[in-house]
Structure 1
Amino acid sequence: MVHLGQGTPNNACERDLRPAVVQRKVTNGYRAMWAAKGEADVRTVVATAALKTKATPFATLLTTITA
């Protein structure tokens, strides 16, 4: 069902998940849970910063790590 003036409901969410899915497929997943959690943490920080501040991923990670 499509309503005028509204986008596809899941399109933005699916676009946000795409880099993580591609990373998982390219690397054949993670063998250690800590590696998967680390990747998720980094992606969360970078994605949130991109939404809020339009900062570069490197600058955001550097600020987060040195805080």
Structure 2
Amino acid sequence: MASLSDKRAKKDIKKVGGLYEYRYKGEGRNAPKRIGVMAQEVEKVRPDAVAKGADGLRRVDYGLLFNAGRGK
């Protein structure tokens, strides 16, 4: 299952190490911040882990992304 990771769906974005802290647009200021990646960046290095939804927004399959290079 892929998670909504498109930069266009996020706000209050702050880089934290190699990941980002953010809230989704539409969430209130008191909503907890989330941690994740930006689909547009992942797409450059792991396009197989990114899918575009019917809404045009990109989603990242974190299972594919973080299991890269691991043997079966």
Q: TM-score range by the shorter chain?
A: 0.3 to 0.5
TM-score normalised by the chain length of structure 2 = 0.31
Higher radius of gyration, 1 or 2: 1
Greater relative contact order (CA < 8 Å, ≥ 6 in sequence) = 2
| Structure that is richer in strand per residue | 2
